Chains A and B, each alone.
Chain A
Amino acid sequence: MSIYFRINKRTSSSWLLSIFLPFISVLLALIGGSIFLSFLKVSPVQAYRGMFQTAFGDWYGISETIVKAIPLILSGIAVTLAFKATVWNIGAAGQIFLGALATTAAVRYFYVDNRGIMLVIMFLFAGIAGGGWAAIAGYLKARWNVNETITTLMLNYIAIHLADYFIYGPWKDPDSLGFPMTAPFPEAARLPQFAGTRIHYGLFIAIIFAILFWFIFRYTRWGYEIRVIGENPKAAQYAGIYYLRYIVLIMFISGAIAGIAGMGEVSGLQGRLQHGFTAEFGFTAIIVAWLARLNPISVMLVSFLIGALQVGGESLQIVMRLPIASTLVLQGLILFFVLGGEFFRNYRIRFIRGDER
């Protein structure tokens, strides 16, 4: 006798399952992680407690979690917008870089010694640069049906190296003792931070965007059109929606939001553009968008949790003296289980005994 299993699509999703599934996923992830930790001869209980306490234990931990969440929210919304229209923008990282570059360019060449005006200029620069960068892929898709997954991904590498060119070349700070970085931004070009923390005003931009796009998707003609395009492009054309024009526009706005995330990082957090400025959160944003099931309000929540995971992971390095790779493995495991759990929301596995055949 042998046992077979079959995978069936769920005809209806049970609400009980959708509530418990994330918890079960996280629990399994923690169990999987503890196996890994015990290989490293570390007590899993201790490690997890350490992670939790670092991320949530005190005001500093929470503030650091929020700092990590800000760019995730912005780029998560950027990706959500594109994914809603079934446009696979996985180039948020490149668009973030372009936003950061344009912000720096604005500071260098269009500096106004007035914080309000300067921030608006930087905001527009970052948005247009990030949006334009993404619109290249959008145009190629609309005009010649070039796969946007490939083009947005490739544009990432160009953007990263373009940034390095400026950091090592024309924009390098002569006073930086040879370090590849630009001169620090003057005070008027800095997004203000909350006293005593590194949380910058980018948080407001992120929250406003999240609520704005939640509203757009739900209540506006434009949001309706985006959903129609995403669910059935042929029906969109049939309804007279200018599909191709919309692809370019959606890409532009998606890229613009990602670009603004880049502005927040250089202007709010680092105060200059430097080598090692990382836009890895542009990829994490894809996970955020999926876990949030393309809901902008959930994007905020998920970004906060992933931010906490990153802050907590840092504690493993500092307190437990684990190599950085091990914290990345642990983070990966948790995401793996949570995303894997999504499978069971849509499918069920049935076991069949061999003699029942």
Chain B
Amino acid sequence: MNGVEMKGITKTFGSVIANQKINFDLKYGEIHALLGENGAGKSTLMNILYGLYHPDSGNIYINGQKCDFRSPFDAIRAGIGMVHQHFMLIPEQTVWENMILGLNNIPQVLPKSEIKRQILELSGKYCLQIDPMSFVWQLSIGEQQRVAILQMLYRKAKLLILDEPTAVLTPQESQNLFKMLTYMASEGYGIIFISHKLDEVMSLSHRVTILRKGEKVGSVLTGETSKEKLAEMMMGQKFVFSIQKQPKSAGPLVFDVENLRVRGDRGFHVIQDLSLQIHQGEVLGLAGVAGNGQQELCEALSGLRRIESGKIKINQQELTNRPPRHFIKKGLRYIPADRRGVGLIPNMMVDENAILKKYWKNPIAKRSLINWREVARYAHHLIRKYYIAVPHVRYPVKNLSGGNLQKLMLGRELSDSPQVIIAMHPTWGLDVAATKFVREQILKERDRGASVLLISEDIEELIALSDRLAVICKGEIMGVIDKPQEVTPEVLGLMMAGTPLKNIQKVSA
């Protein structure tokens, strides 16, 4: 008997079909990988199983019994647990307090020592070392993930869903997670593992179900398939990542960052003594596990965050602690990771968003008046040049898809021939075609002579695009690799975990 059986699940959002007649099942003691690109419908399917969405049609059976979940409460009661990509934990509370979150059959006076005992018992059994008394905000991302998994075990969930659990982990942390999941499966847990990383799926899972554009492509036993076959099923075509990068010798130094120190929102130093040099016509990649100061670095470098000490220069001109508008006027453009929250104004129209970085300039504005005819012309120009799919320029940006949002923002930032481009996760959440387009645009700017700082978590992307590759850990640069194509994953992993490059070279020498 299957632990989970989903039959003919269909879910639409407006005119978008997120899931179309999908069948999916999970046995106890099995790790079942759910593979697909961003936007393939993996998360929707799992959110349906977890009771967050209600399917338009189709049925769910748990342990052979038909279920209709109206909320995650129902799913939890049926023994399903989900660890989201962004953990649903309360940072201000301790581990044990988070453990009982949302449970309603606990006594009014909390049996703290009993809860602690149970946590330690569970964490001992599954090698999830954690101190029940520590506050969640004090924990690393890897530790927080353990808490989120423990939370599910504490609720006696026997069927676990993990939504891209390795996206935020270092390679070493991922290995630990895999060991633990394998052990849990042998103990009889059923585990659904959402991913789009083929290596992980191949090494961890027993079975793979592949989704593409909301439809199920197929289910295969991992032992009977190969990475190439999976990739083919996932992409729908033989996909060769071929971006032609012209070899180019870098020009003079353009963007010079010296000994930067920056404080984060909590008042701690998140950037310590960081220096970077980017030359004309060069892409400097910046690798690192999320949350090691990348966000704050981007804000500091675009003038949005105060710098405690250090210098930022473009072409020898100092910009330290000047207002953001000054950075823009000196030819710096920033493509933030948070498109809807920072880079665009979702409730405003395409044309209004297009002029965000030039609404004060002739011919868009003459003196104080905005020339809306000129604005529309400019927006049409961006739409054509960057293949943005919109019905018309007076269309609200909030209705655009992720790819078109990014193209709009990218077009706006790149169209003025900037000197310096800071791009954070520029292909995050995009489909294959849009990803390729964005990468090509970045290289085009490099060939034109721009200095690009590319911050990404996608190692393949960094290696493919970067002329040099830096690694950041805890706000410090661990080293700069001059030939990114030749670096081994082991070295990168060590650097991302906090070992400076020179120490690694010493050992290997």
Contacts and interface: CB of A to CB of B under 8 A. Distances in A.
Interface of A: 11, 219-222, 224-225, 227-228, 231-232, 234-235, 237-242, 357
Contact of B370 (A224, A241, A357): A224
Interface of B: 14, 68, 70, 302-304, 323-328, 334, 336, 341-348, 352, 355-357, 359-360, 365, 368-370, 372
A238 B342 contact: yes
B323 A240 contact: yes
A221 B345 contact: no
B370 A220 contact: yes
B347 A231 contact: yes
A237 B365 CA distance: 20
A231 B348 contact: yes
Contact of A237 (B70, B304, B370): B304
A221 B348 contact: no
A238 B348 contact: no
Contacts of B343: 235, 238
A45 B216 CA distance: 64
A219 B370 contact: yes
Top 4 nearest A-B pairs (CB, nearest first) are A240-B325, A240-B324, A232-B345, A239-B356
A228 B370 contact: no
Majority SS at the chain B contact face: loop
Contacts, number: 70
B342 A220 contact: no
B368 A357 contact: no
Contacts of B341: 232, 234
A235 B413 CA distance: 13
B356 A235 contact: yes
A228 B345 contact: yes
Contacts of A235: 342-345, 356
A235 B372 CA distance: 20
Contacts of A225: 359
A285 to B, nearest CB: 24
Contact of B345 (A231, A237, A357): A231
A228 B348 contact: yes
A239 B357 contact: yes
B68 A238 contact: no
Given A11-B14, A234-B342, 4 more contacts: A222-B368, A228-B356, A234-B341, A240-B323
B369 A220 contact: yes
Contacts of A232: 341-342, 344-347
Contacts of B360: 221
19 contacts: A219-B372, A220-B368, A220-B369, A221-B365, A221-B368, A221-B369, A221-B370, A227-B352, A231-B345, A231-B347, A231-B348, A232-B344, A232-B345, A234-B342, A238-B343, A239-B324, A239-B357, A240-B323, A240-B328
A238 B424 CA distance: 14
Contacts of A222: 368
